[in-house]
Structure 1
Amino acid sequence: MDHGSADRLPSLRLCGRAEFLQRLSAFEARLWKAAPRLLELGGGTPSPATVADRVLELSDLYTLDRSAIARGARHRGHLLAKVLYFLCSDAPKVRLVLEELAARNASVTCRGGRFRCLDLGCGCGATSVGLILALAGADVPSVIDVVDSDPANLAIAEAAIRMAGEVAGVDVLVQPREADLLAMSASTDIDLVVCQAAINELPSDGLGDDEPATGAVEVVHAWAQQTWTILIEPALRVTTRPLHVLRNRVLERGGIRVVAPCPHQRPCPMLETPRHWCHEIRRFPPAPMVAEVQGISRRRDERTKFSFAVFAPDAPAAGATPDRPLTGAEALLEGRIVSDALVTRGKTERIVCSTEGALVRLRLLDRERTEANAALATAERGATVRIAGEAKLPRVGPGATVAIAEPRDAR
């Protein structure tokens, strides 16, 4: 496979964020209207209050009794929550990952006349729906291969993805397949593999709390050797730290690189202490019915939370610095902001994962804040940061300059 020719292949183009939100709202309205048919409900469309109750029940499974997820997911009430709440609340996550890739000038390319995506452990189709709604238009027809071990999930995913294609004006062919996601290999005609909130539900060897699912390392490495691979998991510590371990082991096998979120190819520094895990908290307005259900359940939050890893074939060429998109004077520190602004009396701190593979807790005193360094305090979590000038790190003084590249509404 000629990965070196990727720059000559057409890249996926994203619509603007405002248009994506409009599409998501339109899709959600259609989804609620179609719910009685999709879910085989005899009493018509359920109320938002009923959906909120089912959401709380399913959320408790994920946070309190994860061993019950497999049997709970097939419960009709939990399927209701997945379709009418989690589908539209999870769909934007792949859009946010693609925004970050675009901001890093790392775009997924189409190797044939059609863009082809393999959605593994697709559930009710949230990731593929988000992907289709994010595309700029019908200029690239799409094929989505959806794989799940549950036929009920597959039927809903197929209908939902087709619905998303109609809303977005994207020509999409959906090809469902009932199978175990770990039994699937990525062929050379697949442009993108996506897998959201599925690997964490698979059994592990039980060798430790951070141990990834049995067989996951081998399979993910095989996918990533062939094509772009996006893994998205819940932002919980219990689901994210195994993703960090999986990332390390996949890289150790060679032949691939991690494209995002990491600014380096070294071992994940979050694993050095058990209380750390790298997760995203992004401000992103919820779809209207998602917001209504959140209001009823008293969990309203305009922040989207998740963890992710993106892999691609081949290691970077010697001397290349794909993790350093910002230019200018020689940097004292480059990396990715992995915390919110930690504000205490007289100062703001930010934790940065550096291009050297270390976590650095930067400190900016209020009295030393200038126009040149203020961006450190205000930058969005997930932004790429570059610090130059005069600074005695970790203290960012008045002589320092801070440049930021944020993954925001990239196209």
Structure 2
Amino acid sequence: MTLNPNLKPFEDILLKYLGNSKSPTLTAPVCTGRSELKAIASDVIQLSNLFTKERKILPSQYLNNKSLRRAYIIYFLPSNIYKIHLPLKELSLHPKKILSKKLLKILDLGSGPGTTILGILDFFSKQKKRPSLEFTAIDSVAENLTIAKDLFKLFAENINIDASLKTFKINIEKAGTIPQDTYDIIILSNILNELFYEDNKRIAKRVSFLNTIIDKFLTLDGSCIIIEPALRETTRGMLDVRDNLIKNGFNIYSPCLIDEPCPALLNPKDWCHEDIPWTPPVIIKEIDKLTGLRKDSLKFSYLVLRKDKLSLTDVLEKNSYRIVSEPLVSKGKLEFYICGIGGRRLITMLDKDKTPSNMQFQKLQRGDIVTFRDLIDRGNRFKIDKGTTVANLSSHIYKSPHLYI
């Protein structure tokens, strides 16, 4: 699955917000001076380090810095907007019409500058049936909420959708201070890993926090969407929380196709994440050239939790598997790790066994959902031979224009 989003509407909005028509555009070739571009690239490097190897010293109010704010909006925001699209798309595939309500009430915990809210607005603005959207954004930094309100207002003016936004400056670790209401969707985007970070019992406290949030604020037919950076530490932390929530009776809607302990946690070097190809804006390509960074795909981890038993597997064949690795290419063969019933296993196809019925195996990508017929089961691994049929379900279910909303 490759994303080719139309970023022109965001270009106009972001440049208007930045208040500088001379800033590099998102989609047009860069015509600004190299000194300005280098300054932006330097700020991008600083942010990238804070988001990864220096995450322990990431200041909560980093967006108060005008230069870092510009770098975030130009480089990080365009890609982060689209990460919410995948879980929303998967929810919209269910025949129970999970997202078909006339009004969807959405709580964004740790909203930051409202990036995910913009992504949700963008997703629903492209649907034929558009629910009214009532957003509540909660963040501990007042400046983040100010930016969120400004960007929301600018974006809402450019789309034909009924939407409103309320903001509250609250420390979200204190769940009891969150305004009492129930929500159809609760979002935690790039925030779970920051909760109780210095606490040795942080996993247990995150589980307790989510138990409270889901029990108290999520509707009985609602969805809690967690998005995390695709880093080993942050993702394994999320998967640890996942396993504990399953023990507490919550259901994983997606991306997991099994409600069992995550097999990626068995090896301390393993973790599970998405890596969706996209066509980045020109300005991001130019910054990548200067910094050595690569923004050629959307890397993130996510979970969709529900109180009921609805699951993405309800619309899939029983023997479906998720591709959870990059293609592993070696002399004479191609391999992937797949996850489904039976856990996480390696699957191999020798080059000499290629046939028209299994040729889809060559085109698989991380995150794809696939089924097999006449697969050879060797216990700890699978093998594809000339008689095996391979079907990539993602190639049609994710590209289908038919959504249950």
**TM-score of the two chains, using structure 2 as the length reference:** 0.83
| Residue 183 (str. 1) matches residue 177 (str. 2) | no
Q: Is the 8 A contact 1:205 1:213 kept in 2?
A: no
Structure 1 residues 224 and 239: alpha-carbon distance in aligned structure 2, compared to 1, 3 A threshold: farther
Q: Give the residue type in structure 2 aligned to 1:400.
A: T
- Confirm or deny: 8 A CA contact 2:186 2:224 kept in the other structure: yes
Partner of residue 109 from structure 2, selected from 97, 120, 135: 120
Matched with 2:23 is none
SS of 2:158's partner is helix
What is aligned with 2:131? 140
Query: What corresponds to 1:377 in structure 2?
Result: 362
Greater relative contact order (CA < 8 Å, ≥ 6 in sequence): 2
Q: How far is the alpha carbon of 1:188 from its aligned partner?
A: 6.0
8 Å contact 1:202–1:214 — kept in the other structure? Answer: no
1:205-256, CA deviations, whole angstroms, 9 ceiling, x for partnerless residues? Answer: 64489777485443454355642111001000011000001111111111x3
Distance 2:143 2:290 in 1: 28
Opposite residue 51 of structure 1, the aligned amino acid is I
Relative distance call for 1:290 and 1:352 in structure 2 (3 A) is: same
In structure 1, C-alpha distance between the alignment counterparts of 2:38 and 2:95, rounded to whole Å: 43
Q: Deviations over 1:346-372 (max 9, x none)?
A: 10001111133x101000111111111
Contact 2:185–2:218 under 8 Å retained in 1? no
| Secondary structure of the structure 1 residue equivalent to 2:256 | coil
Residue aligning to 2:266: 272
Residue 391 (structure 1) shift: 2.3
Q: 1:200 aligns with which of 186, 193, 205?
A: 193
CA deviations 1:351-404 (Å, max 9, x no partner) are 111133x10100011111111122223122211111122524411111111122
Q: Deviations over 1:106-136 (max 9, x none)?
A: 754254x422211110111111111111112
| Alignment gaps of 5+ in structure 1 | 1-15, 38-44
CA contact (8 A) 1:259 1:311 kept: yes
Q: What is the CA–CA distance in structure 2 between the aligned matches of 1:236 and 1:389, rounded to whole Å?
A: 36
**2: CA distance, partners of 1:235 / 1:106:** 30
Residues 209, 312 of structure 1: alpha-carbon distance in 2 compared, 3 angstrom cutoff: closer
How many angstroms does 1:410 deviate by? 4.5
Helix, strand or coil at the partner of 1:47: helix
Deviation at 1:74, TM superposition (A): 4.9
Partner of 1:96: 86
Q: Cα deviation per residue 1:161-201 (whole Å; 9 max; x = unaligned)?
A: 22222333222211111112233469664221111111112
Q: Which residue of 1 aligns with 2:389?
A: 401
Provide the rounded CA distance (Å) in 1 between the counterparts of 2:134 and 2:229.
26
Q: Aligned pair in 2 of structure 1 residues 103, 350: CA closer, same or farther (>3 Å)?
A: farther
SS in 2 for 1:191: strand
Aligned with residue 229 of structure 1, among 216, 224, 228: 224
**1:96 alignment partner, SS class:** helix
The answer to whether 1:79 aligns with 2:69 is: yes
Looking at structure 1, the residues matched to 63 and 231 of structure 2 have their Cα atoms a distance apart, in angstroms, of 22
Alignment of 1:282 onto 2:276: yes
Q: Specify the alignment match of 1:173 in structure 2.
A: 164
Give the residue type in structure 1 aligned to 2:233.
Answer: V
1:131 is aligned to 120
SS in 2 for 1:398: coil
| Partner amino acid, structure 2, of 1:142 | L
Name the CA distance, whole Å, in 1 between partners of 2:150 and 2:294: 28
In the alignment, the residues of structure 2 paired with residue 372 and residue 104 of structure 1 have an alpha-carbon distance, to the nearest angstrom, of 28
Offset, 1:342: 0.8
SS in 2 for 1:55: helix
The 2-side partners of 1:188 and 1:374 are apart by: 51
Larger mean Cα displacement after TM superposition, 227-236 or 386-395: 386-395
* Structure 1 counterpart of 2:174, one-letter code: A
Distance in 1 of aligned mates of 2:341 and 2:218: 22
Kindly indicate whether the alpha-carbon contact (under 8 Å) linking 2:288 and 2:294 is maintained by their aligned counterparts in 1.
Answer: yes
* Identity in percent: 25
Give the aligned length: 375
Residue aligning to 1:336? 322
The aligned amino acid for 1:396 is: I
User: Is 2:375–2:383's contact at 8 Å kept on the other side of the alignment?
Assistant: no
- Give me the whole-angstrom Cα distance separating, in 1, the residues matched to 2:179 and 2:321: 31
Between 145-154 and 284-293, report the one with greater CA deviation: 284-293
Tell me the residue number matched to 1:41: none
| Aligned CA distance change for structure 1 residues 202 and 377 (closer, same or farther; 3 Å) | same
One-letter code of the match for 1:147? I
Alignment of 1:306 with 2:300, yes or no, is: yes
Counting only pairs closer than 5 Å after superposition, residues 356-375 of structure 1 correspond to structure 2 as 356=342, 358-375=343-360
- Asked whether the 8 Å contact 2:3–2:279 carries over to 1, the reply is no
Where does 1:4-23 land on structure 2 (aligned, <5 Å)?
21-22=5-6
Q: Would you say the 8 A contact 1:259–1:312 is kept in 2?
A: yes
Q: Matches of 2:201 and 2:362 in 1, distance apart?
A: 37
TM-superposed deviation, 1:313: 1.7
Question: Retained in 1: the 8 A contact 2:184–2:218?
Answer: no
SS of the residue corresponding to residue 295 of structure 2 reads: coil
Decide whether aligned partners of structure 1 residues 342 and 220 sit closer, same or farther in structure 2, where only a CA change above 3 A counts: farther
> In structure 2, what is the equivalent of residue 33 of structure 1?
16
Q: Unpaired runs of 5+ in structure 2?
A: 21-32
User: Residue 387 of structure 1 aligns to a residue in which SS?
Assistant: strand
Identify the match of residue 218 of structure 1 among 188, 204, 211: 211
Secondary structure at the aligned position of 1:263 is classed as: coil
